[in-house]
């Protein structure tokens, strides 16, 4: 049996041909494929604006910068460090709130207590493919007049009461190769706010409102006037064409992720030493990751090593939680018991559309063997 990787992007002939066509076209930087990708993404989510850029981290950073947030931003510590980095590098302060054990998402019932006199925004993270409790969260944000940012790096196509993530507040998505779709590196910023969209579009290209394509069509390609001091966060036409092809397969890829996850959950249902993912009522989980929790404290690392010895590439998302990183220990002191329990017990198993039944059986068998060996 060959090694089972943690993830494998589904790159097929369509992607190869599309990239070749763009390379041959000579238009390599931000161009027509960006627009096509953005239109597909916006209509998939049902949002007014989708703006493609070089990463989700840039999208998160711009969500804070373009809204001039300088005070406190509530977020979970159980996330990839990029969520907090985006806040700090934009000049605001992260304030961590604890998560719920079941779905590993920020616990909406704890938000009131986590508020400070300086809270200006709430950045929720839809962990591993499942939406947060968006009904309660959006009501809380409205009540306290907080900007709502959704770090949806790990959830493309996940819904809460039928509404997609990234359509509740400002949506920030990642196209890193482990995600639901990939462009190698890449991100998307989504919003229903016309003014914000226009501002962010300019910020990703040095603060210049008119794109190269627009200036070319107006016959004044050289006239590059900046409306704001901006950045270069553009996604290239080459990567955007990958995004267009991947969008066509997104539903099918997510449906395979759901099928594989249901199969694994069933195979592992009698393993009392672990808990498997829980799809909460009203939510459609898209399993960007398949994570289990080991119940016995201290036995998680042994399982990860055992799986690696059996050529199964397991990993951990996320340990340490952000408030325990050297860079954050002094930024925000927080008491987060559920976050710390989950961080020390979570294991990420391989999950990607091309997984076979045989590979899923191998993964389930290895986990059973580990616990039956004591
Ligand atoms: C929750 C979360 N936020 C942000 C990011 C950063 O995404 P990107 O690599 O596209 O900047 C990731 C990526 O792993 C993530 O998991």
Q: Is any atom of ligand 1 closer than 6 Å to the C-beta of 153?
A: yes
82 Cβ below 6 A of ligand 1: yes
Tokens of 115: 């508020």
Give the orientation angle of helix 357-372 with respect to helix 237-267, to 10 degrees: 50
Q: Could you write out the DSSP letters of every residue in 10-39?
A: ---HHHHHHHHHHHHHT--SS-HHHHHHHH
pLDDT value at residue 1: 62
Residue nearest to atom 7 of ligand 1 (CA): 56
Which pTM value belongs to this model? Answer: 0.97
| Contact status, residue 64 vs residue 149, Cβ threshold 8 Å | yes
The 10s digit of each residue's pLDDT in 185-233 is 999 999 999 999 999 999 999 999 988 788 888 999 899 999 999 999 9
**Ligand 1 center from residue 57 Cα (angstroms):** 6
Provide the 3-class DSSP secondary structure of residue 45.
helix
For 31-77, how does the pLDDT look when each residue is reduced to its tens digit (9 = 90+)? 999 999 999 999 999 999 999 999 999 999 999 999 999 999 999 99
The reply to whether ligand 1 has any atom less than 6 angstroms from the CB of 154 is yes
Q: Tell me the two tokens of residue 71.
A: 């005070």
CATH classification for the domain delimited by 251-372, as one of 3.90.1150.10, 3.40.190.10, 3.40.50.1000, 3.30.750.24: 3.90.1150.10
CA of 271 to the centre of ligand 1 (A): 31
3-class SS at 119?
Answer: strand
- Residue-range domain boundaries for the chain: 13-97+104-248, 251-372
- Which two tokens mark 345? 């017990």
CA of 125 to the centre of ligand 1 (A): 10
Task: Tell me how long the chain is.
Answer: 374
Q: Report whether residue 346 contacts ligand 1, using a CB cutoff of 6 Å.
A: no
Using an 8 Å Cβ cutoff, are 208 and 231 in contact? Answer: no
| Contact present, 342 and 32 (Cβ < 8 Å) | no
Distances (CA, A) of 291 to 130, 342, 351: 12, 11, 9
Q: Report whether residue 57 contacts ligand 1, using a CB cutoff of 6 Å.
A: yes
Edge-first strand order for the sheet with 290-294 is 274-275, 290-294, 346-349
Nearest atom within ligand 1 for CA of residue 125: 1
**Torsion (CA) 53, 57, 58, 64 in degrees, nearest 10:** 130
**Does residue 239 have its Cβ closer than 6 Å to ligand 1?**
no
Give the helix/strand (H/E) hosting 96. strand 93-97
Max CA pair span of the chain:
73
Determine the angle formed by the axes of helices 32-45 and 237-267, rounding to 10 degrees. Answer: 30
Alpha carbons 91 and 77: distance in angstroms, whole number = 18
Would you say the CB of residue 150 lies under 6 angstroms from ligand 1? no
Please enumerate in sequence order all residues whose Cβ is within 8 A of that of 126, keeping only pairs 6 or more positions apart, or say none.
105, 132, 150, 151, 152, 154, 155, 158, 165
Q: Which residue has the tokens 């706010």?
A: 193
Protein fold of 13-97+104-248: 3.40.640
Would the CB of 55 count as within 6 Å of ligand 1? yes
Q: How much is the pLDDT for 373?
A: 81
Ligand 1 centre to CA of 80 (Å) is 6
pLDDT, tens digit only, all 374 positions of the chain: 689 999 999 999 999 999 999 999 999 999 999 999 999 999 999 999 999 999 999 999 999 999 999 999 999 999 999 999 999 999 999 999 999 999 999 999 999 999 999 999 999 999 999 999 999 999 999 999 999 999 999 999 999 999 999 999 999 999 999 999 999 999 999 999 999 999 999 999 999 998 878 888 899 989 999 999 999 999 999 999 999 999 999 999 999 999 999 999 999 999 999 999 999 999 999 999 999 999 998 899 999 999 999 999 999 999 999 999 999 998 888 899 999 999 999 999 999 999 999 999 999 999 999 999 86
């Amino acid at each position: 049996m060959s090694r089972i990787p943690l993830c494998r992007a589904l790159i097929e002939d369509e992607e190869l041909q599309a990239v070749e066509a763009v390379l041959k076209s000579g238009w390599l930087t931000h161009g027509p494929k960006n627009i096509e990708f953005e239109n597909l993404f916006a209509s998939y989510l049902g949002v007014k604006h989708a703006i493609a850029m070089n990463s989700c981290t840039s999208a998160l950073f711009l969500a804070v910068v373009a809204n001039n947030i300088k005070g406190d931003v509530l977020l979970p510590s159980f996330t990839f460090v990029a969520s907090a980095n985006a806040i700090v590098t934009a000049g605001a302060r992260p304030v961590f709130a604890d998560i719920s054990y079941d779905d590993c998402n920020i616990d909406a019932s704890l938000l009131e207590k986590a508020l400070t006199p300086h809270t200006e925004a709430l950045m929720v993270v839809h962990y591993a493919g499942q939406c947060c409790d968006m009904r309660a969260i959006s009501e809380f944000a409205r009540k306290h007049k907080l900007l709502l940012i959704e770090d949806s790096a790990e959830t493309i196509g996940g819904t809460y009461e039928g509404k997609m993530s990234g359509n509740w507040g400002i949506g920030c998505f990642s196209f890193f190769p482990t995600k639901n779709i990939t462009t190698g590196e890449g991100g998307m910023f989504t919003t229903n706010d016309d003014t914000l969209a226009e501002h962010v579009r300019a910020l990703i290209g040095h603060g210049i409102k008119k794109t190269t394509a627009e200036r070319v069509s107006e016959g004044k390609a050289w006239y590059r006037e900046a409306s704001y001091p901006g950045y270069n966060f553009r996604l290239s036409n080459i990567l955007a064409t990958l995004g267009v092809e991947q969008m066509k397969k997104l539903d099918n890829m997510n449906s395979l992720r759901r099928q594989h996850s249901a199969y694994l959950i069933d195979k592992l249902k009698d393993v009392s030493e672990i808990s498997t993912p829980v799809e909460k009522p009203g939510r459609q989980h898209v399993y960007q990751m398949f994570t289990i929790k080991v119940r016995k404290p201290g036995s998680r690392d042994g399982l990860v090593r055992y799986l690696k010895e059996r050529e199964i590439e397991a990993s951990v998302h996320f340990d340490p939680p952000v408030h325990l990183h050297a860079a954050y220990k002094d930024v925000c002191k927080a008491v987060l018991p559920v976050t710390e329990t989950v961080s020390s017990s979570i294991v990420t198993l391989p999950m990607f559309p091309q997984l076979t039944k045989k590979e899923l059986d191998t993964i389930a068998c290895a986990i059973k063997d580990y616990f039956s060996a004591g």
